[in-house]
Chains A and B, each alone.
Chain A
Amino acid sequence: MRKPGAALLAGVFLFILLREPAGARTSVEYAVKAAYLVKFVPFITWPDGVFSSSSAPLTICVEGADPFGGSLERAAQGQRDGDHPLAVRRIGASDPATSCQILFAGGAPDNVAAQIERRKAQPVLTVTDSGVARGGIVSFVVIGDHVRFDIDEARANAVGIQINSKLLGLAHIVKKNGRP
């Protein structure tokens, strides 16, 4: 009985050791996703009037749980879309998110569904994470070792957002607009 603490300690160590690769993998995955959020920008065209001024920042908002841990800020660092510098902001559920152009809905699947539902009518490119119900205009999926994404073009068009065909061509699944 002298050793249960040690055993527990060993168990914790083992857990940490086992967790480490998983954690590392997670952080790499989200670094990629953060980069993707920034890289989407050139392929997206927002409707007129989403920017308060011609030099207003293009804001990537993260609602709910933030899985990026600073990698999103690093990815957006110094990036611009035309005259608009890229900015990252974390918002709460009560935030109207009127200044957001991209919204990453984080957190549990239930929360995400509510977050998406709330922004449904806004000209915001909603992005949902893999592993949750797909509800955003863009949904990340992980296929094999690669991060890919689905695109719901119909929903994007419904709020006046145009998605470049090159991006659509790269998407894993595209929900087409009503067009034949």
Chain B
Amino acid sequence: MILTRTRFGLSILAALLTAGLLVAAGLLMARYEDQLYGAQQLKDITEQARILAASVAAAVTFDDRNAAQEYVEALAVNPELLAAGVYDSKGRRIAQFVRSGASLPEREFPGFSNGHLDVSVPVAQGGQVLGRVTVRASAEPAQRRLARYAGLVLLATMGALVIAVLSFSQVALTRRAEELARVNARLQLEMAERRKTEEALRQSHKMEAVGQLSGGIAHDFNNLIMIVKGNLRLLRKRFDTAGSGAETYIASAEEALNRAAHLTQRILAFSRRQPLSPKPVLLSELVAGMDELIRHSLGEKIEIETWLDAHWWTRCDVNQMENVILNLAINARDAMPKGGGLIIHTADRHVDKTPPGVIDFVPGDYVALSIRDTGQGMSQEVRERAVDPFFTTKPLGKGTGLGLSMTFGYVRQSSGYLVIESELGQGTTVTILMPRTEAPNV
């Protein structure tokens, strides 16, 4: 903007300078031409006076007034000449020609005055001065000559004005182009933002649909498991299976059923259909209570730090929250196969701006719980699909792809938000934002 203004100022300055130069040049030209014109007229009139002087030499000498008069009147054909007089050697006028309204010059030296140009030339023959001839011609007054050149000056001024206007509009155009570029950039940014939001919304809808579908299936599936389980129990009761090999088969079938039940629980958690019993909790205390468990789960290769700065209350299902934290910690460990650092950080935060990857965000006070690792991080592609159910980067058989999905479902069911920030090679930070609640009455 400063640059633009400077350029604008420079353009105007240049235009004014040009205008000044043009006017000065015009005035100089006018002055020069005026001088030239004056000199030329003086030369012309002097020449005419000389011709008259030569012509009347004999007439003056022999006092032939008629002849002298004829010569003088011959000058009348030149409309520029106002008056002419012929004088003999004693200064007596012997012939004259005076146009109406004009008078004979009285001065004997040439020059411009009062719109007249007076010229005086001696009449000479054979080296003898015989008399004198004076001629008066009309000369344009200085004002009229100036008026003649005023047109030129006007033209120069107009030219300068045109330049000024052009440079002004040039500056305006440049400014407008800059503004357009700025607006365009903002539009591009907004479009990108919108595309991102749409993508997140689509993702959310997808999750919703998958959740509903899998939730429905899991629910019915769970009922079926219960029926099979109950029947297995009746089988063991009615028939004595202890001695026979049947017990082994029933036991492994029950175990498989337990695993299936566990799986359906997780699917229900993701689909936000698990039964939760939320109560007021201080996340800092909760994390502090889990310290031993986490250390034990992660092993000695991972250095764990806990920063517990949160003091606000929130409401959630404590058991599920512990599961989620443990789950995230194990994920972090798996991202650091050669060891590293893990920071569990709780903090009170007022959040106004929608965090990345989050939709339907409500600004307000939140208790934030972050789990940060120094692991390999995620590519953008992986990060975007991280919460998709059954999506996993772990080897076949090592993960179900339901860990983060379940976490996401649980957090959303508890009115919180899950924020995943990660760069490839820069580690990952998973943050759970839980809404602040009033402290419970003790």
Chain A contact residues, CB within 8 Å of chain B: 36, 39, 41-43, 81-82, 146, 148, 164, 166-167, 169-170
B385-421 CB mask vs A (1 if < 8 Å, else 0) is 0000000000000000000000000000000000000
**Interface residues of A, dominant DSSP:** helix
Q: Given the known A-B contacts A36-B62, A39-B62, A43-B58, are A169 and B67 also in contact in the complex, defined by CB atoms under 8 Å? A: yes
Asked whether, in the complex, the Cβ of A167 is within 8 Å of the Cβ of B58, the reply is yes
- Name the CB-closest residue of B to A166: B58
Residues of A within 8 A of B54 (CB): 166
Chain B: minimal CB distance from A54 (Å): 15
Considering only residues 38-64 of chain B, those with a C-beta below 8 Å from chain A are 54-55, 57-59, 61-62, 64
Would you list which residues of chain B between 115 and 138 have a CB under 8 Å from chain A?
Answer: 125-128, 130
Task: Report the interface size class on chain B.
Answer: 10 to 19
Contact across chains for B59 and A170 when beta carbons are under 8 A apart: yes
Name the CB-closest residue of A to B67.
A170
| Min distance, Cβ A134 to any Cβ of chain B, angstroms | 18
A144–chain B nearest beta-carbon distance, Å = 11
Q: In residues 273-290 of chain B, which contact A (Cβ within 8 Å)?
A: none
Q: Which residues of B contact A (CB under 8 A)?
A: 54-55, 57-59, 61-62, 64, 67, 125-128, 130
Nearest Cβ on chain B to A62's Cβ, whole angstroms: 20
Alpha-carbon distance A39/B58, docked complex (angstroms): 9
Q: In the complex, given contacts A36-B62, A42-B61, what are 9 additional A-B residue pairs having Cβ atoms less than 8 angstroms apart?
A: A42-B125, A42-B127, A43-B58, A43-B126, A166-B55, A167-B58, A170-B58, A170-B62, A170-B67
> Are A41 and B126 in contact, CB atoms less than 8 angstroms apart?
yes
Please name the residue on chain B nearest to A168 by beta carbon.
B58
> What distance in Å separates the Cβ of B66 from its nearest Cβ neighbour in chain A?
9
Who on chain A is nearest to B64 by CB?
Answer: A170
> In the assembled complex, which residues on chain B have CB atoms less than 8 Å from the CB atom of A42?
61, 125-128, 130
Measured between beta carbons, the chain B residues less than 8 angstroms from A166 are 54-55, 57-58, 125
The complex places the Cα of A93 from the Cα of B57 at a distance, in Å, of 35
Docked Cα-Cα span, A36 to B58, in Å, equals 11
Kindly list chain A residues whose C-beta atoms are within 8 Å of the C-beta of B130: 42
CA distance A90 to B164 in the complex (A): 92
Contacts of A169 in B (CB 8 A): 58, 67
Q: Could you tell me the distance between the alpha carbons of A15 and B408 in the complex, rounded to whole angstroms?
A: 166
CA distance A23 to B337 in the complex (A): 161
